[in-house]
Amino acid sequence: MPQVVRSRIGALHGPSPATPLPHRFRSLADREAVEVLHRAARVLVASLPALTDRLVEALYAQEPGYRAAIDAGRAEVWQEVHHSLRHNVGSLIQPREFRESAHRTSRWIGEIRAEQGVPLDAVLHAFRMGGAMVWQDLVDETARRDPDDVRLLVHVAADVWNFVDEHCGIVADAYRQAERRQSWRRENRQRLMVAALLDGTARIADLAEAAAMLGLPEQGRYAVLAVAGAPRGPGAADRPPLALPAAPGAPVLWHPGPDAEFAILPLAGPPGELSALAAALDVPAGTRAGIGSAVEGLAALGDARRLAETALRACPAAGGTVLLDEHLPDALVVSSPALAEALADRVLGPLDRLDPADRDVIVETLTAWLDADGSAQRAGARLYCHRNTVLNRLRRFEQLTGRCLTRPRDAVEVSLALAARRLLGT
């Protein structure tokens, strides 16, 4: 309940150090109005418990936003209202002494009501109801004592409602500041929880709370998307690096990492859902995106993130999207770079003794032939040469390396060695 008169009433107690006396003299009516107000306010101070009871009952009956708070703790609400009335009605008699304490009380009420989730409109309505009730009691007490004095209260009526508005402003500011703090704490806790899930460090006991906090099913199916190299223009730090197709039912949550950004992808569709998602991604030039395999439950998101990182490493440096399930041989290569480099040196090392241009022609031909499923005809079409030229180059490769491309084991090793050279730059 706000303080109900401004410091002009402090004229009876001397000027405030920060507020010089106005050059004009106050009218006799102003002074008489202050005296009438003081007499009525002293009576209100003596009957504060009854006034508090009436205001709490009025709040319960007229302000739906307060009913839950009163039902949950009527005694606490009563003490809050009584504390506010005591400071603010006291300001009618000693404005300078009670001003700061009244302000502190209003700020405290704004903060606590924000934390309890009482709507701001309800809190402001409660303050205005309190101001109206105090004013009416002042008028009633003055009329009971001397009806002729009621006319003098007109001189302070504007001050009463100006101060109601002032304290409504104090409450609103405190309420919004508390909301911002709550929002920051909530968002920070969500970020920490998402980080723990993706790191695989979340405790099993916290998974139910995490599911409720993030709006995700604890036992749902998930995959993780990793993105690196996305262009980030001015003001884009808080926006996702990629626009994702809308996911029904559950949110897509992003989390930044030192080398990539990660998105938790809730899955609820058919088996080909990840393939459809990969095809639908609009990846800018130079941006690399890797989608890991599906996992079961929030507890497995750490594994899903590591799978997404493997898919990202298998993505070409020029950019694009790699779905891990469709590039498992490449994933094997990038998962063990040292072994992959050793394999590449063992299989392709003899080609390094050739002239670089000659070597590159043989490597290009091998790659085209493997991509064409071993068809020299289709490989020649891709390379704009005759099929016999392709076959001649392949035979030369076999002579230089001692490998036989019709032997399945050798063909597999050649394919993995080429992937190692392409992905690891060996």
Per residue in 294-344, pLDDT (tens digit) is 999 999 999 999 999 999 999 988 889 999 999 999 999 999 999 999 999
Comparing CA positions, the residue from 119, 102, 94 lying closest to residue 170 is: 102
Q: What mean pLDDT comes out for the span 269-274?
A: 82
Confidence band of 3 (pLDDT split at 50, 70, 90): very low
**Residue 231 main-chain phi, psi, to 5 deg:** -65, 135
pLDDT of 410 above 80? yes
Q: What CA–CA distance (Å, rounded) separates 9 from 34? A: 6
Phi, psi angles (nearest 5°) of residue 262: -120, 145
Angle at 378 between CA 376 and CA 383, to 5 degrees: 90
pLDDT, averaged across the chain: 86
CA distance 131 to 369: 87
Phi, psi of 272 (to 5 degrees): -85, 15
Least confident piece of the model among 2-11, 23-32, 172-181, 268-277 = 2-11
**What DSSP character marks residue 26?**
P
**pTM of structure:** 0.64
288: pLDDT strictly greater than 80: yes
pLDDT in tens, 354-401: 999 999 999 999 999 999 999 999 999 999 999 999 999 999 999 999
Separation in Å, CA 399 to CA 20, 182, 392, 394 = 104, 71, 11, 9
Q: Which of 197, 198, 199, 200 is nearest to 208 (CA)?
A: 197
- Taking CA atoms, 388 is separated from 360, 383, 395, in Å, by 18, 12, 10
Query: What is the rounded end-to-end Cα distance, in angstroms, of the chain?
Result: 75
The pLDDT of residue 233: 58
The Cα 198–Cα 378 span in angstroms is 44
Question: Would strands 261-267 and 320-323 be described as parallel, antiparallel, or unpaired?
Answer: unpaired
> Which residue from 299, 300, 254, 244 is spatially nearest to 274, judged by alpha carbons?
244
Contacts 24+ apart (CB under 8 A), 62-65: 62/129, 63/122, 63/125, 63/126, 63/129, 64/122, 65/118, 65/119, 65/121, 65/122, 65/123, 65/125
C-beta of residue 81 within 8 angstroms of C-beta of residue 70: no
CA geometry: angle 71, 73, 75, nearest 5 deg = 120
Is a pLDDT exceeding 50 seen at residue 13?
Answer: no
pLDDT in tens, 232-267: 655 555 677 877 765 566 788 899 988 899 999 999
- Identify the sign of the CA torsion 326, 332, 335, 341: negative
pLDDT digits (tens, 9 = 90+) for 28-79: 457 888 888 888 889 988 899 999 999 999 999 999 988 888 988 899 999 9
pLDDT greater at residue 372 or residue 160: 372
Closest CA to 397 of 355, 353, 366: 366
Half-sphere exposure of 274 (CA within 13 A, CB side): 25
Kind plus residue range of the DSSP H or E element containing 223: strand 221-228
The pLDDT tens digits of the residues spanning 202-229 come to 999 999 999 999 999 999 999 999 999 8
Other beta carbons less than 10 A from residue 370's beta carbon: 16
- Packing angle, helices 48-62 and 74-93, rounded to 10: 130
